[in-house]
Amino acid sequence: MSAVALIPARGGSVRVPGKNVLPLAGHPLIAYAIAAARDSGIFTEVVVSTDSEEIAGVARSYGADVVMRPAELATATSPDVDWVVHAMRDEDAFSILRPTSPFRTADTIRRAWEQFNRVDADSIRAVELVKQHPGKMWVVEGELMRPLLEQGGGEVPYHSTQYAALPQVWVQNSSLEIAWRRVLETEPPTIAGERVAPFFTEGFEGLSIDYPDDVERAEQLVASGAAVLPTP
């Protein structure tokens, strides 16, 4: 069975401009995704999908293949499935490894790969326990608001329940996704399929660089030795 690593790295970024090549501990962010994919020993190809010649050059310098993405597949609202179909090779499976999760290591990927081959699912997706529970969230409507999650049956509403008593809810993070090629061949195609299994990230594996202060936090984690980066 063969698999390809797909690393999305479009040039535009609203919250953190240029984040895919943002320096972290001496290397651009995308270098850590490429290094983790290559060092995992799983993938026949490591492919970066980008619309940026700058990112393409950086990706090639760190050992990745590059597929140039057309502009219509590189907007802030472009569905992931479109660029995945565009970049997909002939392998049996694919993994999406986003550059924004620098603490995802080769060991993380190998652990996920073992699980993917063990479960009866179309795909697996990285998740972690939510810190802000949806049971405490509200939708504002004019001068009033209503709970995002309604709870019937005469039970104590989620919004008035202590966190420890709430049902566990898991949120996806950007660490990784792995799926069989067949999910791209459905109508319409997807990147997940219908049967999705959880991959539980550990420690800082799921930390994502989404806001400017996330960069500073990542630098502090590296400097303190609390988190380890892949070696480009």
**In this predicted structure, what is the pLDDT of residue 151?**
76
Q: Which helix (H) or strand (E) holds 82?
A: helix 80-87
Q: Which helix (H) or strand (E) holds 50?
A: strand 45-50
**In this predicted structure, what is the pLDDT of residue 40?**
98
Q: pTM of the full predicted structure?
A: 0.93
**In this predicted structure, what is the pLDDT of residue 12?**
75
DSSP annotation of 154 reads T
**In this predicted structure, what is the pLDDT of residue 54?**
95
Residue 106 φ/ψ region, left for φ over 0, alpha for ψ in the -120 to 50 degree band, beta for the rest: alpha
**In this predicted structure, what is the pLDDT of residue 155?**
79
**In this predicted structure, what is the pLDDT of residue 77?**
86
**In this predicted structure, what is the pLDDT of residue 227?**
96
For residue range 128-168, list pLDDT tens digits in order: 999 999 999 999 999 999 999 887 666 788 999 998 889 99
- Is residue 1 very low, low, confident or very high in pLDDT (cuts 50, 70, 90)? confident
- Is residue 223 very low, low, confident or very high in pLDDT (cuts 50, 70, 90)? very high
Stretch 176-198: mean pLDDT, rounded? 97
For residue range 15-40, list pLDDT tens digits in order: 777 889 999 999 999 999 999 999 99
Residue 112 phi/psi, 5-degree rounding, is -65, -40
**In this predicted structure, what is the pLDDT of residue 52?**
94
Average pLDDT value for the chain: 94
Stretch 3-16: mean pLDDT, rounded? 88
Burial degree of 152 (CB within 10 A; 0-12, 13-18, 19+): exposed
Q: What is the per-residue DSSP string for 6-42? A: EEE--S--SSSTTGGG-EETTEEHHHHHHHHHHHHT-
**In this predicted structure, what is the pLDDT of residue 154?**
65
Burial degree of 184 (CB within 10 A; 0-12, 13-18, 19+): middle
Are 33 and 104 in contact by the 8 Å Cβ rule? The answer is yes
For residue range 91-135, list pLDDT tens digits in order: 999 999 999 999 999 999 999 999 999 999 999 999 999 999 999
- What the chain holds in terms of domains, given with CATH numbers, is 3-130+172-224 (3.90.550.10), 131-168 (no CATH)
Q: Cα 1 to chain center, whole Å?
A: 23
